Structures are given as structure tokens and as C-alpha cells.
Structure 1
Amino acid sequence: MTPQPLAAVRSIKVKLGLLVAASVLVATAVATLGRAGGVPAWLGVPVTVALALAVTQLLAAGMTAPLRQMTAAARRMATGDHGARVPETSRDEVGELARAFNTMAADLAAVDRQRRELVANVSHELRTPLTGMRAVLENLVDGVGPADPEALRPALDQAERTSRLVEDLLDLARVDAGRAPLTPQQVPLGALLAEAVAEAALLGRPVTYDVVVSPPDLAVAADPARLHQLVANLLDNASRHSPAGGTVRVVAEQAGERYVVEVRDEGPGVATADRERVFEPFGTLSAGDAVGGSTGLGLAIARWVTDLHGGTIGFVEPAAGRGARVRVDLPLAPPERGGPVGLETVVARPPRPTGDVAARPPRPTEAEAAAESDVPGLLDDVFGSFWPARGVPARVGLLAGAVVTGVLAAALLPERDLGLGTLVVLLAAGGVLVTATPRRRDPWTLTCAGLCLLLAGVTVVRDAEWLVVLCLLAAVATALCGVTGARSAAGIALSGLAWPLAGLRGLPWLGRTLATLTGRGGGAALLRTLVWSALGLVVFGALLVSADALLAEWVDAVVPDLTSDLLVARVFLTVAVGGVVLAAAYLALDPPRVDRADRDPRPVGRRFEWLAPVLVVVGVLAAFLAAQATVVLAGHDHLRRTTGLTYAEYVHQGFGQLTVATALTLLVVRVVVRRAPRATVADRVWLRAALGLLCVETLVVVGAALHRMHLYQEAYGFTSLRLLVDVVEGWLGLLVLASLASVVVLRSAWFPRFVLVSGVVALLGLAAVNPEGWVAEHNLERYAATGRVDWEHLQGLSDDAVPALVGGSADLSADDRACALGGRSETGEDRDLWEWNAARSRADRALDDVPLESGVAATTGSSASPCGSPS
């Protein structure tokens, strides 16, 4: 069942107030704690929001569940399944509605069952006399039997039985439809009973009747026809089940404002378990004996007549211990009828729950548990077909893996540089994703996993934070595409958006997992175990650590710093990392349908609709290429005279625009390949020609952009950003070539994945080149050739550049080396194992033989420094 922490509250308004108050209180407390502990906003705000949402989800669990369950149950009932029920564990207005719904469902189920049984039993009862009459008539027609009164007597008996059955059914139909109004009048009860007994005696059964009325002149207000029908059916039932020579006793007496009529016989009686069933139409005893008169409807009619008069009827214990005793309790004057008394009045009524239902919640039945598992959640309507509910089973192992990853992050990351500890956390997170995803054997997923492993390895190979961060972002994007199996551009983009949404979509699954973890009475035991284990660790650990210095050293090396500020930061980091890993695990376990949004669009109707815009772009690119050719052929003087710009300024000014133009051209090619019609040969020829020309022009634009960046770097020096832009432009050129290939084959389904994989490979290639080492080496070569260098930029490079600055191809003097390495004082002795990084290790070895204290000021531009201003 869905947990309901606020089930004891009797008002839904109070529940909502408590929900808002608790959420605000938790958010305020967590935000205050984070601010006091110095937790940065980028970490504190998401954790605060996540914890507030978690508290809201916990307290709100079950508040709307009955409504959703009633919706699902109503849908099941509309299909004919009347066995649906909803839990009645809440005390508020929704709980009252759930109880009323269950009552209605039980009544409808009983009515539906009664209707089915009525149809079946009526068919059975009609078939018997009709079969008998048919047999007699066939004998007469075939001349087998004589056509005398004796031969026709069985047919007449069967016809009379059929007639009585039809009359009883008509009576039931009138009562059930409310068309059997009472006509109360003063009826002498003694005379009515005498008349009914006289009619029963005409049936010729070997019983005697004894009638006692007290007082003898007792008169009641009743419908004489209906009351006579009631007594006649009771007498018929008693005489049928009495032994030969038995006595049927009828007793009527007044009891205050009511009167009681009892019919007693000396037959086998009715078992206690059958005393309600026999009043149903065609009711049967446990032994299978039919009751209720010759048609099986007599006692059912008796109950309906009793209900019409506002009374009760039932079997009671016989005074002598044997026989049957039917008691009818009626008012002296029948009440006004508020509505028709129909078929539901004779249904075997289920016992109504008494007492405080919410205080003693019943254990749900298997049917109720199955119904609850099929209930659509609130989030199902939010995510719709994009992320439908698939009934993902609880996975305690994934929750434990996410918690362990969060604890590792809290222990290894704070106050440490990116290095071995970061890799360990990434590997733990990757292990959780691999365990969660059912696509672990898919070639695309395996490819993404391999790329993610290489990208994660950059954290222990390079020291440049910007490069490591780019690799980590690329690893996240690749992992998300791997677990969702995205194939299209929209699917890849939606995979990234689905990660934060998984934190919301996975809340029901998290609730099921926690319920599995703490269910079946194990929650308290688990909590006690954790408390006692933690207490034993703290008490005995503190005693033994204080008693042994070597053990204390071991503990200091293993246990992270738990000072107040760091403790708060570690707690926040545990929640943040554990939460994002758990969201990614749910995304891997139950990925959305990310590729549904990228369906093949309808092609355009006419060729000119796509051809004209493409030719316009081709013309614009042709004009740009013509301008580039003019600059190359006319020279720098012509450029200065016409634009007033130097060549360096000219190449710097347009590089960004060229990069954007290249990316937009890729988008144009992608859209046109998908939307342009290709039904005829002419369509395909025009498509290949126009887009091929566009791709070729774009390749020239890419070449021009790379040439401009090269000239700009030669003039102003090399930086990591300029090298990254070079790589990005080269990658765009590769994508242009891939687009050209897709134009040739007119297939582009493979292109989005190619974009992702090629981008990751380009980034890994950049990491392998060691960009900051490359920048340092080329700047020093430029310094040796021109005497110009930006010392401040070299000082800002990471440890990746130290080997090039110490032992590069340029022969630097001691002062120049001091300028290049100024400000570097931290060595490997200041770091622990979890900060280990291959680049920092190489830098430490390179700096071992280089004295940093040269007596030269390290501040660039200082009056006492030989490090000149950047040039």
C-alpha cells in the first residue's frame, strides 16, 4: 500500500497546511545550514529544492492516491469488473469518499451477480416445464399417447407452473421498477391468515395448519393483496418442506406499535449460513435444495413485500430445536415510501465495517494490491506517452549504489583538486548506470561506455580544469545517450533534458524501493541496527583510537576531515551526488521514448520550396568566397584602403561569424535532406547538386576560418581558447564532409550519432595533444623568434604546461624561466593520494631541478621584474 504519514489527520485542508509548513520549514533549515557552512549556491540551492520536494512527496503520499484508485476502479467497473476496491485508510474527506465508493462497488457487484443468477435461474426454471409440455404435445401429435384428460393433465400442470413463474417474475419486475404501489387499508389479520391457510390447504399436501392471532381482533394497515402474497409464499414454503403428517403453525401477535407474524414448520430447517441466501431469487441451501416455493422466487417476493411495508423478515432459531421458523416484523402502519425498493434489497448484504476504520487499517487483499499497482500515478498525466509508467520494480541495489557514490564524493572531493579521487567517484557512478540499464549488451551502449571511460580517464592525465570539465560534460552527454539509445538529434537533446526530469519521474519508483527496504516490519529493525552499529563504532572507536597512537594515525589517514564547515559541505555533496546518480540510474532503468519526437517530417510539396532558399545561401557563400579571393589577390594595401583595417584586425573580426555560418549550413543541409522530395530522378539530381555545391562552399569557408585563426595566432600568440576554437572549426569541417556523404547517399539517420562520437573523439584527441603544453611550447618558439610573449598568460597555464616551460625547445634564461613559472609553489608534498594526477606528477618531477626562488619578482609588469608587459 502507498504510505500515508498524514492518514490520522481528519481534514484535507489541515493536511495541505501541514504539507506546506513542513516543506517551507525543511527548505529554510537546509538553506540556513548550507549558508552557515559556506556551501556554494550552485550546490546548496539544488539540494535544498530536492530535499523540500522529497519531504513534500513523503507527506503527500496517499493524499490523492484514493482518487486515482477510484478512477482506475471506475474504469474497471465500466468494463464489467465490479471487484475493484480502494483502501480505506484515510480519515479525511477523501477517505470518506473511498468508503462510500467501496459501499457502492459492493452493492453494484451484488446487483450484477444477482442479475446474472436471475437470468440463469429463470432460464433453467422455464426450460423444465416447457420441456415437459413439449414432450406431451409431441406424443399427442405423433399418436403415441391417447388424447384423454389423464394424458393432458401433466401438460396442464407444467403450463400452470410456467404461469406461476411468469406471474412471480412480473410481480418482481413491478416492485423493482417501483410500479407496485401500496394501497394500505385496515385489514383484519385473523381473516387474512385464515384465507391464506384455506388456499394453502387446497394444494393437497399432507400437513395440518394451526393459526393463532393475539389479540383475535388484531387489525393492521397494509396492502391486503401484498400481505396475502407474503403469507401465501411463506405457507407454501413451509408446507413443501414439512414431513407428511407435520404441522405448520402460524402465530401473529402485536408488539407495541408493531406486529409479528411467524410461520413454523417441522421440516429439516435452514442452516445458519444459509439464512440470508434463501431470500435471494432461486436461492439454494448448502446442500443444494431449492427453497422459496415452486418457482424458487417465493421467499424473494416475501422479502420484497416486507421491505415495501417497512418491515424485516428472517429465519430465527426454532423453539424446539428443529424445523424452520420464519419471523416477519411489520409496523402497524407502513411508512411513506421514499423510492422504489428493488432488487438490491434482497441481496445478501456484506457486513458493514464498524468502529474507526482508519485507526485499524485492514490488510489489503491481493485484488486490492493488484488494483493499486495498476493505478495511474499523478506523474503519468504529466509525462504522458513521452515517459509512460512501465511498472519498474524496486531496486534496492541501485539505491545503495547511489548512496555509496554520494558518500565517496563527500569523502574524496572536498578541498582536493581533480584527480584519482574524481576518477573513483566517476567509476562508481558508471558502475551504477551499467547495473541499471537493460541495454548493457547493446553495441551503441557499449560504445558509449568505452568513450565515457576514456573521457573519465582524462581526470588523471591532464591538469587543465577547462579541458577536464569539457571531458566530464561530454562523458555525461555520452552516458545519457547510451542508456536511452538515442538515434536522432532530438533524441540526443531530449536525453540531456531527461536527466533532471528523471528525478521527478522516478519518485514513485523511489517510494516503492524505500517501501521494499522498510516493508514487512523490517523498517524498525533496520533503523535499530543502524543506530546501534553507529553507536558501537563511535564509542569503541573513540576509546581504542585514544589508546593507540598508530591506530589514530591510520584513522586520520582514512577518515575525512569532519570539522563543522566541512561536515556540512560533505553532507550537501552526498545528497547532491547521490541524487544525480540515482536520477541517472532511474533514467537507465526506465528510459523515455526520446526518439518519438523526431519522426520523419512530411516532405515539401514542390521542389522550389526548398531549392530557392538553398540557392540563396549558395549565392551568399559565393559572394563571401569572392571577397576572400579579392583580399588574397589584391593584397593588404587594397584591404587597408577599402576597409581601413589591418589584415590582423580583418581576420580576427570575421572568425566568429564564419564558425556560426558553418554550423548553420550543417543545419540547413540536415533539414533539406529530410524535407526535400526525392520521388523522381530529377528531384534527386537537384538535391545532390544544390546541397553538394553548398557543402563544397562550406568546406572552403572552414578552410578560410582556419587560415584566419592561424594568422591571428601568429600575430598575437597562442592561447588555449584559440586552440580549442581551431579544433571546433576542424570538427565542423569533418561534419561538413559527413553531410556531403549523406547528400550523396541521401541517408542521414546515422548522422546524429556520428556528430556525438566524432565530437567525443575530437575532444579526446585534444586531451591527448596536451593543449596547454602545446600552447606553452609554441609561445616560447614565437618568443625565441620574435622576442614577444605574454608571460602572464604562461603563468596562468596549468601543470600540463610545466614540462614545456622547463625543458621545451626554447632555451630560456633563468630569469625567463622564473617569469614563465612565477607563482608556482605547490608541490606533490602538499597533496594526498586522491589528488594524484599524471600531469601534476610530471610537473613536480620537472620542477625538482629548477629553483623557483631566483630573487626576481614574479609579478608581471613590476618595476623590479624583467618580465615585460604582454606583447
Structure 2
Amino acid sequence: MNPDRPLDGVTSIKLKLGVLVGASVVATVLVAAIGDGAGVPWWASLPVTAGAAVGVTQWLARGMTSPLRAMTDAARRMAVGDYGQRVTATSSDEVGQLARSFNAMAAELAGADLERRRLIATVSHELRTPLTAQRALLENLADGVTDPDPDTLRAALAQSERLSTLVGDLLDLSRIDAGVAPLALAPVRVAGLLAASVEEAGVSGRPVRLLHRVEPADLTVAADPARLAQLVANLTDNAVRHSPPYGEVRLEARREGEDRWVLEVSDDGPGIAAEDAERVFERFGTGSDSAGGTGLGLAIVRWVCELHGGRVEVVPSGGGACFRVTLPVAPSTERPVHLRELPTAARRPAPRPTTPTEETPMSTATPVPAPPATTPVGPYGGGSGPIETSLARIWPEPDRRPRIGVVGAAAGIGLLASLTWPYRGIGLATSLVMVATGVLMWAVARHRRDPWTVGGAVVALLLASVATVRDAGGVVTLSVLAGVAVAAAALTRAHGLLAIVSSWAAWPLSALRGLPLLGRTITATSRVSVLWPVLRTVAFSLLVLVVFGGLFATGDAVFGSWASALVPDLGWDTIVLRGFLFVLVTGVALTGAYLALNPPAADLVAVPPSRRTRPVWEWAVPVGVVVLLFGGFLLAQATVMWGGDAYLRRTTGLTHAEYVHQGFGQLTVATAFTVLVMALTLRVASRESARDRLVVRVLLGALGVFTLAVVASALYRMSLYQDAFGYTVLRVFVDGFELWLGLVVLMLLGAVMGLSWRWVPRAVLVSGAAFTLGFAAMNPDAWVAGQNIDRYEATGKVDTLYLSSLSADAAPVIAERLPREMAACVVSSPADLEVFDRRATDDVLGWNLGRARAEDALAGLGARPADCGAYLTDTYQR
């Protein structure tokens, strides 16, 4: 099996697709089952499983699509005149048949191109000789060097006749190329036709004897008189030119059967070799150039024969050449002959089927120059030129060099993660891997000196450090996602809203876009003579070590104790977990490096500008409806404020606490939607006239002010709810998110007043990153714990079950401010036991500031009480 084209032996494209889908499903299920059995978390198992499916699909599909890419590239080169292109046709399916047909078509076009160039050379040569002679003769006459006697005039006439013959041949060729030539049939006496042809050929002055004979003497046929005379004249002229001095040219016509007649024209010349018997009928196929001629005469003979429904061939003879023409006595007038029935190259037999490993040969009878060596299309499409598509316009790939160093560095980062992450909490190792990935991206970034890219790198570095400072999983996850978003937007230098969103999508899409680069790099490493032998040696040595070491360790207790001291636990679950992490982190680092090395033109992703001027009412009416709805909502809020709890209970049946809790989520969503409405209106609204600009400012200004009032209302509702039922990390985050939305609305109001919002998307991204850093800096778990303890000190009630679910970041506050027994039960609850048991295995790479401070707080609390049931309640948390 060819590893580059594993499905070449399958004879149907449908069956290949079925095999591809089946293999992808099997790979997906197998990898997912292995990860699930080893306890790999979903966030590591899902990307690796998807990557395995994509890898199997890519491996199987590359041989299916590479002929199509090769044909696309070859067709593009042929369009600019390079007809030497051929594609590899090794598959047995429909694509392989198409590739072989493409090669046959390319050979035909190469032959046609060669004949076109021959036409230019032949016509130039044939025109230059008589024109030069005629010009010299006319100059002599004009200068008085030569007298205008009959011999001189006859010489001038001969040169003019030669030019006329050439022009006539070219006109006949143009009629052939026109596609269809009608027949004008009339009775033709063959004897008179031959006699006229012999008489015409006799005036050429060559010392050749011409004989003609017709049997029966009164043979009369139906034919196009002009075409038939042209046929006989061309054959006779060809025989005369090739006959030696004082040779003999014979024209013989006879009846053959009831409906056919034959004309044979023979001479005493050198004859025609068997291998040239078909080539002499090609256009410009002159055989030997020593006798002169344009190379069109015999091609026209074949055309006239086929026009009449006959044929012409070279027949063996004792000496010289002999042409035999077989024509019907009464040809049909309903048989037009198209150009495709008169090929420019010799007629070829149907191509024989090739085996799956055989290259289709270029079979042309004309001596076409050898095609230039084409760059083989590799399994990942290497060698194909830039494709003029929307993807290539937005995401070009100008640098196609392999990147062995980048792939090696990404593999090193993946190895670091696989060795340091398992069985350690979020900490220093997590930040080190993220920083190493960022350094790799920075090292290969195309725009690393751009101020926006530099600023994004600094912010991403700060966000990566959160994993070392905070233990809260939600805070770390938010920081990582924000860092990825900032890094992607910085690498692509995106400005617009859609451009920034597209830059976020470009990171995972780089896993597909970068596959050709990965393929070229792997191919390049195969040319390093030492690398792969070393890798094979290391892999085989590890295999031997594992197999024999395991056997000896289980077979001898002393050797087993030595092995346990030297070798870490490498159980099946551990190996699988580390393998999944290696693949995941290597893939993330590779895709990030590709995004930095080859960033897409994200700013080209934008809503296309309107081709027409929109009337004001087309956008003002829906925006006005939104403004009225906001106004009605604020009126309802004022009514509740003035009417008090009694009015609220009488109208809705809800308490004030239930009322404020009910609407907070909807208000947050409404605020987010308002941001989209304002951004879209700024995009589509016409601002050509002063009136248009005034309407934009009034409507969007009112909408922005009303939205800020809604933000204030939402924050007021959440404040009342938190006073009644306490604080949670989620509620604090939503408060911050609502504040950030209010800031975004203020930015949009500034854009409305200035009628320019190009700066807004970047400002929104930066403010979001700042919000994330601020959220991590405030230590939300500790802050929430402190607020709930404040309420406990004021009311004596606290939700200790919720406090026990907080991360290690809250432990110092809990240990310091709650009573010792209660604090010991809270921070040593089952929800935290796993964290702190895991802390016992942490080393320098697993160090985390939040867990380190929690460890110190635990040490000061002493032993956990035997009965903590009285201390763990869920008071006031809803």
C-alpha cells in the first residue's frame, strides 16, 4: 500500500468516501474510549478525539484530492501556455480516470501548440524566400540593373504564384478550422480532371514526365469539382516536387465496385518510411524540409477526402511514394466534417487501462518536447500555487517553507505539559506552559513589533500569571480565555468587531489551515538523514526497556524495588493521560504558532457596505421602537419605586425580593442586545446629511442613556437581592459583567457623538481584559467569603456549605474571621479535602499562591472537630 495514497486500490469514489467515514468514526470511538477508560478529563479528551478524526480523514483523503489539486495547478499553468504539465494517475476510481483523460487532453494541446509554432516558423520561412527574391528583382528593375524582358517577368510571376499558393493553403486551413465545410456536388469527368492537373503541373519547369490513365475512360463521378481538383493538384504537386530529375509521375484512376472509385498518384522519389506514413497527413508535417512546401497540402488532401466520405493512405510500392485515394462515386451531402474529425496530430488508439501504480504515458505522434519536470503534489498539497479564492484573499500563505524548529518547539511544550500537569493542581507549571507557548508565538510572529501586538502580548502574559496566583478554577478559566482572545486579536492586528471575532475563530481554524505546513515540515524532516534513525532507535529502546524491565521487575522483588525507586509510576492510566495532554498542548502551541506566523487579514472580514443609500425611516423606525420599549420599562420601574411594596404585591403578587431576583437575567440580556443594536445601527445608518447625523445622535443617544438607566436598575436589583440572600462568586461576576456592559454603552455613546466607531472594538476588548485582570486581582472567592462573614457577624447567620465549596483562595479569610471550630469544618470539608490532599504531592512546579496561603491557614486551625454537622448549613443562600 502506498502510504501517501492509501486508497488508490479502491475502484470507486463512493466506496472510498465510505471507507473514509468509517475509519474516522472508528478512530473517534477508539480514542474517546481510551480517554474515558483512563479518566482523562473532557477538556483534554474532546480536542484530541476530534484531532484524531481529522488526522485519519486527512491521511485517507489526501490521496483522493491530490490529483484534483494537481489538475487545478496544471490547468492554471496550461492557461498561460505551459502545455507540458502532467498529473500522476495512480488511482483506479473516477478521479484516476479523470486524471488520465486530463493527461490525454494535455498531450493533444501540446501537439496543437507545437503545430501552431510550426505554422509561424513555416509561414515565416515560406513568405521570406519569395518576398526576398521578388524584392531583389523589383529593386534591380527600378535601378535599371535588369531589363524587364520576358524571362525576368516570368521569374517575378513565379514568385507571386508561390505566394498565392501559400495564401491559398492558409485560406484552406482557415476553412478547416471554421469547423464545417459544405459540398457542392456536380458530375466530374475524371479523365478531364487528371489531364488538367497534369497540364498545370507541367508548367512548373521541372524535368519530370507526367502520365495519367483512367479506366474506364469515361469514368464520371459526383463530387465537388473545386475540392476534387484541389485534391488532385496537391497530390500531383507533391509527387512532382519529390521526384528526381527526369523521373516519372503516374496518375491512375479506376472504378472499384459499384459505389467506389480509386485514384493512385505515385512517383520515383525516395519514398516514405513506414513510421512516417501517417505523419505526412498532419498539418505542417512536411516529413523532409529539403523539398520545400508549407506542409499543408497533404493535410488538405485528407480533409477533402473525409469531406467526400472517403480516405487517403500511403501504400507500399516498389520504389518512390504512392498515395491511394478511395472515394464514393456519389457522396452524401448530409455529412459535414468538423475540425475534431481532422486531428492536428496523428490519430491515436484509445488509451489502454493502466494499473494503479502505472503513470499514464504521453502518447503523441508528433515530436513534442519533453515536458518540464513538474513539482509533485505532496499529500498536503505542497507545490500548488496560490489559489485565488476568498480564503486565499483573507488568509494567504506567502511563506511555504517547512518549519522544523517550530514543530519541534511545540512538541517540546507539549512534552513539558505532559510531564508537569498530571497530578498537580493549577499553579506554576500551568503558567510556564502558557508562557512558553506565548514565547514561541512571539518568536515567529509576523507583526511582533506592532504596538498593538506588543500591548496584547503584555496583557496576555499578565493573564497567564493568574494560574499561579489564584486557585479558583472559574477565575483561571476566564483568564485563559481572555488571554487567548487578546493574543489572537493582537497577532492579527484586528480593528473591527467582526475582525476581532474572526481572529478568535482563527486560532482553532489554524489546526486545519496549518495542515499543509505540518505536512511540508514532516516531509522535510524525512530528508534529514540522522533524525528519523535516531527517533526510531529511541522508540525501540524505550519499547525494549518497558517490556523487559516490566518482566524483570515483576519477576524479582529486589529488582522491582530498584525499579520503583528509579522509575515513576507509569501505569496505563498515567501513560494515556500524559499522551492526551501531550497531543492537546502540542496542537494548541502549533496552531498558535501558525496563527502568529501566518495571521489572516482579519480586517477584511466585515459587513459589506450598502450599495444604496438607505432612507432614514428604514433603520430609525426599529430603533425608535426599542427606545419606546426602554422608556416603558423605566416608567414601570418608577411606578414600583413610587408605589412601594404594597403596590407591587397588589399588582403582581410578588415580594420585593422575588421581584428583583426575577428580572435581573433578562435585564442583562437586554443590555447585551442593546449593544448589538447600537453597533449595527452605526454600521448601516446613513450619515451623509446633517439631518441624518442629527437623527442618529438623537435616537442612539436616547437609547444609550436609557440603557445606562437599565444597567443601574439591574445593579440595584442585584444589590437588594445580595443584601437579602448573601453574596456568591457568580453574582459578583454578573455584577462586574453588567458594569462592563455599561462601560461598553458609554463607549458607543462616544462613538455616536463623534459618528466614528473604529476605535470602539479594540477599546471593548482591552476593557474586557482589564475587567478579567481586575476580577482576578480582587480575589473573588476571598471577597465573597468576607462579605458573608460580615453578614454573619451582623446577624449570626451564614451559609457555611457554600463557604466550604469555595476554592483555596478563600481559606485565609475563613480561618481568620470565623470561630476556630467552624472554620476548621468549613475549610476541611469534603469539597476541599481533594484539593489539599493533592497539595501534598505539589512541588515547585505545582506551587500556587492561593493554595500556599491556604496551607498556612490550615496549619493554624489545628485538628478538625469530630462532628461538623452543626456547623455546615445553607442559611440564606437561594
Verify same fold: TM over 0.5: yes
Give the drift of 1:118.
2.4
2-structure distance, mates of 1:533, 1:75: 45
The reply on whether 1:359 has 2:357 as its aligned counterpart is yes
Q: Cα–Cα, structure 1 residues 340 and 552, in superposed 2: closer, same or farther, change >3 Å? A: farther
| AA of the residue aligned to 2:155 | P
Which of 627, 633, 649 matches 2:639?
627
1:532 equivalent to 2:537? Answer: yes
Give, in whole Å, the separation in 2 of the partners of 1:510 and 1:748: 39
Deviation at 1:685, TM superposition (A): 4.2
After superposition, the Cα gap between the structure-2 partners of 1:806 and 1:310, relative to the gap in structure 1 and judged at 3 Å, is same
2:462 aligned with 1:454, yes or no? yes
Q: Give the aligned partner of residue 597 of structure 1.
A: 606
Matches within 5 A, 1:422-441: 422-441=430-449
1:161-217 CA distance string (max 9 Å, x none) = 2344355556666778677999999999xxx999999998875657x9999xxxxxx
Residues 475 and 145 of structure 1: CA distance in aligned 2, closer, same or farther (over 3 Å) = same
Structure 2 CA distance for partners of 1:314 and 1:831, relative to 1, 3 Å? farther
Deviates further, 759-768 or 591-600: 591-600
2:684 pairs with 1:679: no
Q: Is residue 197–residue 229 contact of structure 2 (8 Å, CA) maintained in 1?
A: no
| Match in the other structure for 1:816 | 822
Question: Which amino acid counterpart does residue 624 of structure 2 have in structure 1?
Answer: A
Matched residue type, 2:574 = L
2:417 to 399, 409, 417: 409
Deviation by residue 1:616-651 (Cα, 9 ceiling, x = unmatched): 1452254145336526xx6x6676676665544444
1:475-516 CA-partner distances (Å, limit 9, x unpaired): 222223223333222223333344444434444444444444
Summarize the Cα distance change of 1:471–1:553 in structure 2 as closer, same or farther, 3 Å threshold.
Answer: farther
**Equivalent residue, structure 2, for 1:662:** 671
Residue 754 of structure 1 and its aligned partner are, at CA, apart by: 1.4
Which position in structure 2 is the counterpart of 1:613?
625
Conserved? CA contact 1:396–1:513, under 8 Å: yes
CA distance in 1, matches of 2:542, 2:440: 28
| Residue number in structure 1 paired with 2:577 | 569
> Would the alpha carbon gap of residues 361 and 407 (structure 1) be closer, same or farther in structure 2, given more than 3 Å must change?
farther
CA distance in structure 2 between the aligned counterparts of 1:251 and 1:530, rounded to whole angstroms: 80
Correspondence 1:514-525 to 2 at 5 A: 514-518=522-526
Q: Which has the larger displacement, 666-675 or 336-345?
A: 336-345
CA distance in 1, matches of 2:246, 2:861: 126
Percentage of pairs with the same residue: 43
Q: Structure 2: where are the runs of 5+ without partners? A: 212-220, 253-261, 362-369
Give the aligned residue type for 2:467: T
- In structure 1, the residue matched to 2:64 is 63
Task: Output the CA distance in 2 between the equivalents of 1:139 and 1:629.
Answer: 118
Deviation string, structure 1 residues 92-134 (Cα, Å, up to 9, x no partner): 3332332222222222332243235325533553454356556
State the secondary structure of the residue aligned to 2:806: coil
Change (3 A) 1:392 1:839: same
**Relative to structure 1, is the Cα distance of residues 674 and 52 closer, same or farther in structure 2, using a 3 angstrom cutoff?**
closer
Q: Is the CA contact (8 Å cut-off) linking 1:409 and 1:577 kept in structure 2? A: yes
Rounded to whole Å, the distance in 1 between the matches of 2:263 and 2:160 is 38
Cα distance change on mapping 1:195 and 1:715 into 2, 3 Å: closer
Contact 1:445/1:482 (8 A) holds in 2: yes
Q: Tell me, which stretches of 5 or more residues in structure 1 are unaligned? A: 212-220, 253-257, 320-324
| Shift in CA distance, 780/370, structure 1 to aligned 2, threshold 3 Å | same
1:761 Cα shift?
0.6
Partner of 1:851: 862
Q: Which residue of structure 2 aligns with residue 730 of structure 1?
A: 739
Map 1:735-754; keep pairs closer than 5 Å. 735-754=744-763
After superposition, give the CA deviation of every residue in 1:739-787 in whole Å (9 maximum; x if it has no partner): 3322332221211221111111111111111111112223223222322
Measure the CA separation in 2 of the matches of 1:554 and 1:260: 102
Matches within 5 A, 1:266-665: 290-293=289-292, 347=345, 356=354, 358-361=356-359, 368-369=374-375, 392-518=400-526, 527-539=532-544, 561-588=569-596, 589-591=598-600, 593=602, 595-600=604-609, 604-606=614-616, 609=621, 612-613=624-625, 615-617=627-629, 619-620=631-632, 622-624=634-636, 626-627=638-639, 629-630=641-642, 646-665=655-674
Q: Offset of 1:837 from its aligned partner?
A: 0.7
Listed one character per residue, the Cα deviations across residues 578-617 of structure 1 (whole Å, up to 9, x for unaligned) are: 3344344444424264652334557641265367336414
Instruction: Supply the distance in 2 between the matched residues of 1:743 and 1:795 (Cα, whole angstroms).
Output: 47
Matched residue of 1:369: which SS? coil
Letter in 1 for 2:435: L
Distance in 1 between the 2:756 and 2:173 partners? 74
TM-aligned CA deviation for residue 342 of structure 1: 6.8
Alpha-carbon distance in structure 2 between the residues aligned to 1:628 and 1:558: 73
* Structure 2 CA distance for aligned equivalents of residues 554 and 747 of structure 1: 72
Deviates more, 1:19-28 or 1:167-176: 167-176
**AA paired with 1:414?**
P
Matches within 5 A, 1:74-85: 74=75, 82-85=83-86
Distance 2:403 2:322 in 1: 61
Opposite residue 359 of structure 1, the aligned amino acid is T
Per the alignment, do residues 313 and 369 of structure 1 end up closer, same or farther by CA in structure 2, a change over 3 Å counting?
Answer: farther
1:30 is matched with which residue?
31
**Aligned-pair CA distance for 1:468:** 0.9
CA gap of 1:145–1:735, structure 2 versus 1, over 3 A, is: same
* Distance change in 2, residues 1:14/1:748 (3 Å): closer
8 Å CA contact retained: 2:423, 2:841: no
Shift of 1:676: 3.7
Compared CA separation, residues 265 and 416, structure 1 to 2 (3 A): same
In structure 2, the partner of 1:830 is 841
RMSD over aligned Cα atoms: 5.3
Paired residues of 1:263 and 1:326 also in contact (CA < 8 A): yes
Letter in 1 for 2:819: S
Output the CA distance in 2 between the equivalents of 1:376 and 1:341. 37
Measure the CA separation in 2 of the matches of 1:295 and 1:508: 51
Q: Does 1:705 align with 2:714?
A: yes
- CA shift, 1:804, in A, is 1.4
Deviation at 1:327, TM superposition (A): 5.5
Maintained 8 Å contact 2:472/2:809? yes
Amino acid at match of 1:605: P
Structure 1 contact 306–312 (Cα < 8 Å) conserved: no
How many angstroms does 1:423 deviate by? 1.7
Q: CA deviation at 1:461?
A: 0.2
Which amino acid in structure 2 is aligned with residue 450 of structure 1? V
1:799 aligned onto 2:808: yes
Look up the match of 2:258. Answer: none
Number of positions where the alignment pairs a residue of Structure 1 with one of Structure 2: 826
Structure 1 residue 766 and structure 2 residue 801: aligned?
no
Give the Cα separation in 2 of the matches to 1:53 and 1:583: 14
Contact kept? 1:614, 1:691, Cα under 8 Å:
no
Please give the alpha-carbon distance, in whole angstroms, between the structure 1 residues aligned to 2:418 and 2:698: 58
When structure 1 is superposed on structure 2, of 355-364 and 789-798 the one drifting more is 355-364
Aligned match of 1:322: none
Q: Is the 8 A contact 2:209 2:249 kept in 1?
A: yes
Residues 645, 552 of structure 1: alpha-carbon distance in 2 compared, 3 angstrom cutoff: same
C-alpha change, 1:479 and 1:550, in structure 2 (3 Å) is: farther
Q: So what's the TM-score if we normalise by structure 2?
A: 0.77
From the superposition, tell whether residues 505 and 857 of structure 1 become closer, same or farther in structure 2 (CA, over 3 Å): same
| Counterpart contact for 2:785–2:814, Cα < 8 Å | yes
Deviation per CA, 1:345-367: give whole Å up to 9, x if none.
56489999989564344899656
User: Could you tell which deviates more after superposition, 60-69 or 384-393?
Assistant: 384-393
Q: Residue 756 of structure 1 corresponds to which residue in structure 2?
A: 765
